[in-house]
Amino acid sequence: MFKHDDHLGFKNTSVFLSVSFLCKPQLLGYDVTNITATKTGLFVYVTYFRWIRPKNHFFTVIITDELSIIDPLEQEAEIRIIGGDEAWAHSWPWQVSLTFSSMPACGGAIIGPLWVVSAAHCFKRYNKAAFWTVLAGKHDLDNREEPGQQMVGVAMIISHHGYNPKTKECDLALVKLQQPLVFNSLVRPIDVWNSPLTPNRKCTITGWGSTRENGPRVNRLQEVNVTILPTDVCNRLYLGRMKPTMFCAGKEGGGADACQGDSGGPLSCFTGSKYELAGLVSWGVGCGRARKPGVYTKVQQHTDWMFEDMCGQQQRSSSCQRAPGLAALLTSKSGELSVGNVSESCPFSWPWQVSLQSAGNHYCSGVLIHHRWVLTAKHCNVRAKEDVAVLGVHDLRFSSQSVPVEKVFDMKEDGSFPPKSDLSLLRLSVPARFSSSVSPLCVPDEDEVLDSSWSCVTTCWGSTKATGGPHTCLSLGTSCREKWPGLIGDSHICTHPAGSASCMGDQGAPLVCKKHGAYFLFGMVTWGSRQCDADKPAIFSRVADYHSWITELTEDV
């Protein structure tokens, strides 16, 4: 039993009550709008349209669990799209909905195949991963059969160790998924904004929250443009409550803001070529009020913490800390060259690596980019109906999943030699079973630039066990063209000679590059020196240039 003013002493608020008994559908002016049966009981969605408090009256229900206010901030700092419009369907592919016991609760942003970032206050009362689910590839939350949607359970919730519920500092949480998301045009990650977040920059917030203060949630994704405000203005409007980990955005006159249900959702800023994640919806006063802009967690302040935690949760044995070294070629006394700094990789640390085999013998490597698709080098000459893709394997003497190759799609040739592209897509006869040892690798967008901020590695089976490395130093285009005169085009990537098939002893080896804890497939080995020549860089096909071709084929299945 509880009094009205114990828990319900504020107007126009949405709550969830977990009850085992409900007296009648309307009680004292509190309109019950939805009752949902779950494994743990009934969840009752109640909207308070008016306040009725008879003297000494008590509102009594039999409680099977504590009162759960899904909007976790207090009235004076409500989690808070006001003044916006319905977004184009799937135009914000990193946006997710975090649902608690099947009910929408917060927003979030995809930052890796297994990772979503959201606000810590979303999990202040309920931080048990088993109750939470991530919905990706969504536009209409009411459409349970929406094409392309992905629903994944939550394996772990990691709230920032510095989160302060009172001051709202470090309002950030990492959500690890039970299985990796499959990236496509509807579901993609977003990079973290790393440049200074200057005042007056226009950015966009997105979410399924209320479109007016105290209004109901919406079913279709909303968007609104807001302006980053100067820190001194934010502090003046919020009486000094702003912290270095926060910024505010909106309009001083109000009318553009996040609202209830948008918490943890992304504030995305355009760099000139793509959007990056600058903030997460955190707190504010009301929704879209004059002189009360929304306050956001400054994500770039927490990148070290985020990616340290993400890397710490990688699927590898805690006793295995091997990392590939820098590429090097060693010369023996007899003058023979060999690759230095090659080491056996930690078992299953490259879960997208595929062994292409014929009659049980490995002959080429490939990369899993989708549960039905493998990308490899065209010169591997994979044969449909005859060859198999072996997944989740570290030691070639022991196999995991062996899936027949159903069909081979070769990139069309333009008659040039050497060819500009050397890629084949392999469609598997049955979908791969994702696990800690089998998961796909991301394909970068066409406009993604491979520069010194990326760390790259080649992986292959030079013997019987997967090797991780070496880290490849990227050659400058001019010096590479000098080494291979007339043969290098914009669709090629040059690396240290140690990355070539002749040096590493494997065909179809990928060039995998990492930034901010996420790996992307940037290249597939194409050609190099036949005899591991220290003066000849290894050449890879630039996978990003063929993003459209890859997407068109893989989305047809």
Residue 17's CB: how many other CB atoms inside 10 A?
A: 22
Q: Pick the range with the lowest mean pLDDT from 1-15, 161-175, 468-482.
A: 1-15
Q: Are 437 and 351 in contact (CB under 8 A)?
A: yes
- The C-alpha atoms of residue 340 and residue 336 are separated, in whole angstroms, by 12
**Encoded tokens for 103:** 């009910």
120: three-class secondary structure by DSSP: helix
Mean pLDDT of the chain: 73
pLDDT given for residue 43 in this prediction: 40
**pLDDT tens digits along 72-91:** 333 334 344 555 688 999 99
Give whole-number Cα distances, 183 to 114, 275, 510, in Å. 11, 17, 18
Q: Best-predicted range by mean pLDDT among 187-196, 283-292, 325-334, 511-520?
A: 187-196
Sign (positive or negative) of CA dihedral 73, 76, 77, 82? positive
What is this structure's pTM? 0.52
For the chain, the structural domain boundaries read 4-69, 85-308, 328-557
Known catalytic residue: 171? yes
Q: Do domains 85-308 and 328-557 have the same CATH topology?
A: yes
pLDDT (mean) for 415-444: 80
Of the chain, the percentage scoring pLDDT greater than 90 comes to 32
Q: Which residues contact 136 (CB under 8 A, 6 or more apart)?
A: 96, 110, 149, 150, 151, 152, 181, 186, 187
Known catalytic residue: 161? no
Residue 510's Cβ-count burial label (10 Å; 0-12, 13-18, 19+) is buried
Q: H or E segment at 406? A: strand 401-410
Of the chain, the percentage scoring pLDDT greater than 70 comes to 62
- The C-alpha atoms of residue 200 and residue 445 are separated, in whole angstroms, by 28
Question: What letter does residue 2 receive in the DSSP assignment?
Answer: B
Supply the CATH classification number for the domain 328-557: 2.40.10.10
**Catalytic residue selected from 18, 101, 263, 529:** 263
**Catalytic residue selected from 171, 309, 387, 422:** 171
Q: H or E segment at 228? A: strand 222-228
455-460, strands of its sheet edge to edge: 467-471, 455-460, 510-515, 518-527, 538-542, 492-495
pLDDT given for residue 310 in this prediction: 62
pLDDT at 444 over 70: yes
**Catalytic residue selected from 97, 118, 121, 387:** 121
Give me the DSSP letters along 481-522.
HHHSTTT--TTEEEE-GGGSHHHHT-SS-EEEEEETTEEEEE
Q: Which residues contact 84 (CB under 8 A, 6 or more apart)?
A: 205, 211, 222, 223, 224, 225, 256
Q: How confident is the model at residue 277 (pLDDT cuts 50, 70, 90)?
A: very high
**pLDDT tens digits along 311-340:** 434 444 333 444 444 444 344 444 443 444
Supply the CATH classification number for the domain 85-308: 2.40.10.10
408 compared with 519, residue with greater pLDDT: 408
Largest separation between any pair of C-alpha atoms in the chain: 100
Known catalytic residue: 139? no
- The C-alpha atoms of residue 281 and residue 70 are separated, in whole angstroms, by 15
Residue 281's Cβ-count burial label (10 Å; 0-12, 13-18, 19+) is buried
- The C-alpha atoms of residue 289 and residue 372 are separated, in whole angstroms, by 49
